[in-house]
A and B are shown apart, each in its own frame.
Chain A
Amino acid sequence: MIKKKVCMLGSFAVGKTSLVQRFVHSIFSQKYSTTVGVKIDKKTLSIREKTMDLILWDLHGKDEFQEIRMSYLRGASGCIYVVDGTRLKTLDVFRELRNKTRDYVGDVPFVVALNKWDLRREWEIGSDAMDDLEKEGAVIIKTSAKTGLCVEEVFQTLARLMVDN
């Protein structure tokens, strides 16, 4: 059995926990509930005829009062960066965290989940910003933890990238 540690990273209130809850337990709650420290979860996937356990580290979001504790990232095989499409600032947080993560764990595979597609009318992140992200080498996937849109795809894509790495 392959086990891979995956870290969920991003600003606060972007939907990291909601994506994990949707993916692992198929549930969604509209109520915002902040994550303190880190929540650990597991999901078993089948990738290219191999069974893989994803050990998900759902980290607290970066906010005004606390930085991400880099020690949580030790041993990570991949990262999912979550950006809230309705808050442009969360894209800057992604870039900052991406640089810090690269310094700490190296160039591990990653996927960017542009979350809250169900609120697309309120999106502040436009196609230009998305093109820039792709030029930077990011795999970006629009998601909605609320409707379940492409949630499975985010984790499957990262799992494939980790197998190929």
Chain B
Amino acid sequence: MQDFPQSIMEYICTSLMDERSMGFFLIDAGGKVLRSGGMLSDFAISPPRPEDDITDILLFMKGLLPLEQSPLKLSQIRIHPGVTVDAHLFQTAEGYGLILLDAVHQEKLVARFQQKANELVLLREKHTRILEHNFGKGFAEQLLELDPHTNAVKKPATILLVSIRGVSELAEHYEPLQIFSTLREYVSTMIQSVHVEGGIVKDTFGNTIMAVFGLLPSALPPAHQSLNAVHKIFKKIADLNTNRSEHRLNALEVGMGVASCEVMAGIKSREERHSLMVVGPCFEMADRLEKLTRPGQVIVDRSTFELSGELKKCFAPVRVRLGVNTDFSLAFAWEGSND
């Protein structure tokens, strides 16, 4: 034991117990409870009777005794719905000591990140399957011309952010299942248009999709590809809205932001699993521009406009403020609903 004075040890223990509920068991070598205490009721555990078998009180103790190595730490064990503990099992003079520490907060924190990460990996696997189904196995990575063993390459790219508007208003009149079904209809239309124009949908967040152009080879510059996708999205959504109006269903519009820059693209590789990583300043720019659009409008940055070829004629210059304390910048708007 380190040379900690009693007062310091007491403070550490009090502080730990204030933060997390704690309970303990002292168990003999055969697994019978000798003594217990602490805040066991916080873990939905009734006070045990002397000689109770620990495996009857805590199911997870089955098979853990005798200990071969001490201590044994098992983290985030959900013992009942809403009750998660970290368990510390160690040898004592009488047999074993078992400490339970409340771990609900830690579980929730980890779950939030893990859920998002796993959902993104599943989405990426789905995209890879679609590409491989259409173009053959390994095609996605070949097209990206990226070596999983090198870090990353710089590529000119265009980012398209598409967001469905009016979802909150829709939520006031329809059941969640109907809203989900409506969103699915619009989002699949958007994703399809991106894929047709050679873009990759990098992320989807509820009513928004983020697509990257320029990673897959194309005869067209990425900016032009993205604007072709914008045109398709406007057209397909107009068709969808006509169809929905005929069935007396609410029609929704989208707002889009587009920005171009050089991005760093690479494949993060671990064993057989590869994931695409893309970073660059135009992600933030596309996001800000999208937030400034009206329904049925797309706003593009100057770089995208300069690279948009004959589609330049669709745009009118607009002055936009991209941040609270920033000057006005020049951007270009296209009223898709006027097409």
Contacts and interface: CB of A to CB of B under 8 A. Distances in A.
Interface of A: 3-5, 12-13, 32-34, 36-40, 42, 55, 57, 60-61, 63-66, 69, 71-72, 74-77, 87, 89, 92
Contacts of A74: 63-64, 72
Nearest to B114: A34
Q: Which of B73, B76, B122 gathers the greatest number of chain A CB atoms within 10 Å?
A: B76
Contacts of B330: none
Interface of B is mostly: mixed
Interface in B243-287: 270, 272-273, 275
23 contacts: A3-B62, A12-B118, A33-B115, A34-B114, A34-B115, A36-B107, A36-B111, A37-B76, A37-B103, A37-B107, A37-B110, A40-B60, A40-B78, A55-B59, A55-B60, A64-B273, A69-B74, A69-B75, A71-B72, A71-B74, A74-B72, A76-B63, A87-B125
Nearest to A38: B77
B84 interface: yes
Interface in B111-162: 111, 114-115, 117-119, 121-122, 125
B115 to A, nearest CB: 5
Contacts of A77: 63
Interface residues of B, number: 31
A69 B273 CA distance: 20
B336 to A, nearest CB: 34
B114 A36 contact: yes
A77 to B, nearest CB: 7
Interface in B71-98: 72-79, 84
Interface of B: 55, 59-60, 62-64, 72-79, 84, 103, 107, 110-111, 114-115, 117-119, 121-122, 125, 270, 272-273, 275
A71 B79 CA distance: 17
A57 B118 contact: no
A76 B125 CA distance: 32
Given A64-B273, A75-B64, A40 B59 contact: yes
B118 A39 contact: no
Given A34-B111, A64-B275, A3 B55 contact: yes
Contacts, number: 81
A76 B118 CA distance: 27
B122 A92 contact: no
Contacts of A69: 74-75
A89 B73 CA distance: 31
A75 B74 contact: no
A108 B184 CA distance: 45
A64 B272 contact: no
A20 B75 CA distance: 20
B114 A65 contact: yes
Per CB-CB distance, the 9 closest pairs between chain A and chain B, nearest first, are A75-B63, A37-B76, A5-B63, A39-B78, A34-B115, A36-B110, A34-B114, A36-B111, A55-B62
A134 B128 CA distance: 29
Given A5-B63, A38-B76, A40-B77, A13 B117 contact: no
Contact of B121 (A37, A55, A64): A64
A75 B275 contact: no
B118 A34 contact: yes
A156 B59 CA distance: 20
A61 B103 CA distance: 19
B20 to A, nearest CB: 15
Contacts of B76: 36-38
Contacts of A87: 125
Nearest to B75: A37
Nearest to A12: B118
Contacts of B63: 5, 55, 74-77
Nearest to B121: A64
A38 B78 contact: yes
Contacts of B75: 37, 69
A32 B116 CA distance: 11
Contact of A13 (B79, B118, B270, B272): B118
Contacts of A32: 118-119, 122
B74 A72 contact: yes
B331 to A, nearest CB: 37
A60 B91 CA distance: 28
